[in-house]
Amino acid sequence: MKSYKEYLEQSGEIGYIQSIVHSIVYVSGLPKARPREVVIAEGGQVGIIQSLLPDEVEVLMLETGGLRNNLGITRTGQYFEIGVSEQTLGRIVNPFGDPIDGSGAIGGVKETRSVDPGAPPLHARVKIARPMETGVQIVDLLVPLGYGQRELVIGDRKTGKTIFLLQTMATQAKKGVVCVYVSIGKRQSDVKAVEAYLRARGGDVFKNCCLVVAAASDPASMVYLAPFSGFSIAEYFRDSGRDVLIVFDDLTNHAKFYRELSLLSKRTPGRSSYPGDIFNLHASMLERAGQIKTDKGKVVSITALPVAESLEGDITGYIQTNLMSITDGHVFFDIERFKSGARPAVNHALSVSRVGNQTRQLLEKELAQKVREDLSRYEKDKEIARFGVDLPEATRAEIDLGEKIELVLNQDTETLVPAALSLGLLGLLLGGFWKEKKAEQVKVDLIKLTQKYQSGSLKDLEEKLAKVAKIDDLILLMKSYSEKVEASLHE
C-alpha cells in the first residue's frame, strides 16, 4: 500500500476528522468519497467508508491508535483488499492477511483479493453431489454433508462444537482439502488450543490449514472484517483448483460486534438491538460458498461451517434462526446430551441436512433410516423404563440395541472414524455380533477394532463394503466376517 502523501497527490482531496466514536470517525472534506472505499490517515491508519452523510463521511477505522480530531485523511480510490499466496497455508494471519504467528513474513507470489467480491453467479454453480467426510460417525451417518454445503453448527458454550469442527478440518486436511479457520472475537488461549490440536494431528494437516484470527482484544472493526477476509483466502485457493473448507467460530460473536458498531454509529436498532441489515450481511457472505465449475471445466467447492451459540439449548434466538434460514441445515449440540455423557453431544433428531442426503448411496440411506428408527424406539422405551415397570423381552432388547448403537456412535476427540469402518461396525452390531456382550466389553472391542483398522489389519473390509448395495447384504457380509473380527480381537 502507498503512503498517505502519495494517495493525497493522486486524489487531490483531503479531509479532516471532526469526531471520534471508538472505531468510527466522522470526516469532512471528501466530496468524491464512495461507500466501501479505503481511506488513509496521516499517521498511516487505514479505514473503510461506511456511509455518506450530508456534510460528513462515516469511516470505520481498522486501526485506532494515534487518531485525533483534525487529523488529515485522504481517499485511496481502492476497495479493501488483502494479499494471499500459497504460503498463507500453515500460517496464522490477521484480517489484513499479515502473519501474527512470529514466523516471519509470508513469501510467495502474492495476489490481492477484495474482501467483498460478491457471490458466484447462478450459471457457474453445480449441484452438490460429492459426500464430505467429517470423521465423526454420528454426523457422517445421520446428518451427512456434501462439498459446497453450508451447514450451521449450533449449541451452547462448551458442548463440543469447536472440537467437532477441528475433527472435520483434520479429516479433510489429510485428504488435501484447504481448511480455513476464522476465529471471531475469541480469546488468545482458545486460538492456541486450536493451533495445538491441528499441529498434533501431523504436519500434513497443519500445512493445509490457515488460521484467520481477530481476537477479543482487537478493535471491533477488525473482528467485523475477519469472516470476509477468511472468505477471500478461501476463494483464492478455490480459484486455484482446490476444494476448501471454511469454519466461522462464531457468527453470533460477529453479530454482537457488528451490533456494537451500528449502535455507535446511531443506526436505528431493530430486534434485540441488532441493525436491520444483519440478515443481509450474513446471507450475502455465506452465499459465496458453494460448488462451482471453473472456466477450465473443473468442479471445485467452498464448504462453509458457520457456528452459532445458543443459550440453555434454545435455538430460537434472532441470529440463530437467521442463520438457520440462510444455511442448508444444522448440526445441533444438545446440552442435555452433553451432561448425560454423550460424545459428541449431537442431537440427531433435531439436526438436519437439507442437501447432504443427495450425496449418499442407497446403503447409507437405508442404514441411517434403520439407526434413526432404532434410536427413536430406544428413547421412547427409556421414558417408559423410568417408571420402574416390568418390561417385555422385546422392549428390553430394543433398549439393549439402542445403548450399543450409542456406544458405537460415541467417539473421543482424538479418533477419526472413516466411513468404511463406521459401516462395518454398525453392520456387526445389527448382525448380532455384540448381542450377548455387556456394554463394558463392547467399549473395549470398539477401541481394539478401530486400532486394528488404522494399522491396516482390516483394510480388506473397504473392498468388500464397496460391493454392498443394501442393508440386508451389509448384515450378511458382517455376519460372515464376524469370525475374523473375533479372532483379531484376541491377537
Question: Nearest Cα to 166, choosing from 414, 420, 417?
Answer: 414
> What phi and psi, each to the nearest 5 degrees, are found at residue 228?
-70, -40
CA 350 and chain centroid, separation: 19
Q: Which amino acid is at 50?
A: Q
Considering only CA atoms, which of 231, 246, 250, 247 is closest in space to residue 308?
250
Strands 37-41 and 111-114, by their bridges, are unpaired
Q: How far is it, in rounded angstroms, from Cα 98 to Cα 84?
A: 9
CA proximity to 408, closest of 377, 381, 429: 429
Q: Are 91 and 83 in contact (CB under 8 A)?
A: no
Question: What DSSP string runs through 2-47?
Answer: --HHHHHHHH---EEEEEEETTEEEEE--TT--TTEEEEETTS-EE
DSSP for 67-92, written as a single string: --TT-EEEEEEEE-EEEE-GGGTT-E
| Helix, strand, coil percent content, the chain, rounded in steps of 5 | 45, 20, 35
> What span, in angstroms and rounded, lies between the C-alpha atoms of 488 and 491?
5
Cα separation of 252 and 264, whole Å?
Answer: 19
Q: How many CB atoms lie within 10 A of CB 27?
A: 25
Under DSSP, the state recorded for 151 is -
Catalytic residue among 267, 354, 360, 377: 354
Query: What CA–CA distances, in Å, run from 38 to 35, 167, 239, 265, 413?
Result: 9, 38, 25, 18, 43
Q: How far is the C-alpha of 310 from the C-alpha of 231, rounded, in Å?
A: 24
Q: Which residues of 288-301 are buried (b: 16+ CB within 10 A; e: fewer)?
A: bbbbbeeeeeebbb
Residue 368, SS3? helix
271 tagged catalytic: no
Burial class (CB in 10 A: 0-12, 13-18, 19+), 440: exposed
Measured CA to CA in angstroms, residue 110 lies from 84, 233, 429 at distances of 5, 11, 53
Give catalytic residue positions: 354
